[in-house]
């Protein structure tokens, strides 16, 4: 657990409303986990224990559900999550070159976060924008017809934006 970056003293009251709305049944487990991740940015272990207790399940079961789905993160993610599409159309149109460009520019690999906490890169199956391939999504916004140069320019724009908000 030495490498674990999760905080173990998270403010559990943040998900009070979520649990009030959805906590009555374990069939809402996925919805609860999604809302929890929206709040904390990832799923901290102590919060999972808390959820399990509240919905009458066990931490192992909740963890089992969470780890089954690609959407959930168990480590803090960067301010900007880069979802790089690795669907068929993007693959045919050179998504590997884009991945290489991002990884070289940010010096991280798939699933990792930059030390400044600004970017996390995650390969995803298909974003459904195949006609603009290769594509990536950052902050819910899709960027298409990527080239390595264009990708790096977009990353730099986010970097500037990210640094600006930090200064405020």
Partner 1 sequence: MRIVVGMGSCGIAAGAKDVYQAICAIKKTDDDFTVGVTGCIGMCFLEPIVDIYDDKKNLLHRMGNVRVKDVALIVQALRENNPDRLAPLCITPENADFLKKQTRIALQHCGVIDPTDINDYLASDGYQALQKVLKSMMPEEVIEEIKISGLAGRGGAGFPTWFKWDAARKAPSNTKYMICNADEGDPGAYMDRAVIEGDPHSLIEGMLIAAYAIGAQDAMVYVRAEYPLAIIVLEDAIKQALDKGFLGQNILGSGFSCNIRIKAGAGAFVCGEETAMLESLEGKRGMPRLKPPFPAEYGYNGKPSNINNVETFANIAWIINNGGKKFAALGTEGSKGTKVFALTGKIKRGGLVEVPMGMTLREIIFDIGGGIRKDKEFKAVQIGGPSGGCLPASLLDTTIDYKALNATGAIMGSGGMVVMDSSTCMVNMAKFFLDFTAKESCGKCTHCRLGTKRMLEILSRITEGKGKEGDIELLEELSYAIKDGSLCGLGQSAPNPVLTTLNYFRDEYEAHIVDKECPAKECTELLVYAILADKCTGCTLCARKCPTGAIHGEAKKLHTIDQDACIKCGQCVDLCRFAAISIEGGSRHADN
Using CB under 8 A, pick the residue from 53, 69, 157, 166 that binds partner 1.
Answer: 69
Per DSSP (E only), the strands in the chain are: 80-85, 119-124, 136-138, 141-143
Which residues are paired to 84 by β-bridges? 123, 136
Q: Does 138 contact partner 1 by CB under 8 A? A: no
Question: Closest CB to partner 1 among 31 and 58?
Answer: 31
Which of 6, 10, 12, 30 touches partner 1 (CB under 8 A)?
30
Minimum Å distance from CB 166 to partner 1? 25
- Give the residue, chosen from 11, 92, 109, 116, that forms a contact with partner 1 under the rule CB under 8 A: 92
Q: Dihedral of the CA atoms 75, 165, 137, 84 (nearest 10)?
A: -50
Residue 163 touches partner 1, criterion: CB under 8 A: no
Measured distance CA(150)–CA(168) in Å, rounded: 28
Neighbours of 35 (CB within 10 A): 16
The number of residues that bind partner 1 (CB under 8 A) is: 43
Burial class (CB in 10 A: 0-12, 13-18, 19+), 163: exposed
Among 4, 20, 60, 125, the residue binding partner 1 under the rule CB under 8 A is 125
Q: At what angle do helices 95-106 and 148-167 cross, to 10 degrees?
A: 40
Count the neighbouring beta carbons within 10 Å of the beta carbon of residue 55: 20
Kindly indicate which of the ranges 4-12, 27-35, 74-82, 111-119 contains the residues binding partner 1, using the contact rule CB under 8 A: 27-35
Site stretch for partner 1 (CB under 8 A), options 11-19, 42-50, 91-99, 107-115: 91-99
| Parallel, antiparallel or unpaired: strands 80-85 and 141-143 | unpaired
Binding mask 40-59 for partner 1 (x = CB under 8 A): --------------------
Q: Which residues form the interface with partner 1 (CB under 8 A)?
A: 25-31, 33-34, 64-65, 68-72, 83, 86-93, 124-133, 135, 137, 140-145
């Amino acid at each position: 657990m030495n490498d674990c970056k999760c905080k173990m003293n998270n403010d559990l009251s943040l998900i009070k409303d979520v649990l009030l709305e959805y906590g009555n049944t374990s069939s809402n487990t996925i919805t609860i986990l999604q809302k929890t991740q929206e709040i904390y940015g990832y799923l901290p272990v102590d919060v999972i224990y808390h959820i399990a207790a509240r919905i009458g399940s066990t931490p192992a079961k909740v963890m089992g559900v969470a780890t089954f789905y690609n959407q959930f993160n168990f480590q803090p993610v960067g301010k900007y999550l880069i979802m790089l599409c690795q669907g068929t159309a993007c693959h045919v149109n050179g998504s590997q070159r884009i991945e290489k460009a991002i990884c070289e520019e940010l010096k991280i690999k798939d699933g990792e976060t930059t030390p400044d906490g600004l970017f996390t890169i995650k390969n995803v199956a298909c974003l459904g924008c195949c006609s603009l391939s290769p594509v990536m999504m950052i902050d819910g916004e899709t960027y298409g017809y990527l080239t390595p140069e264009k990708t790096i320019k977009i990353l730099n724009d986010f970097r500037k934006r990210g640094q600006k908000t930090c200064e405020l």
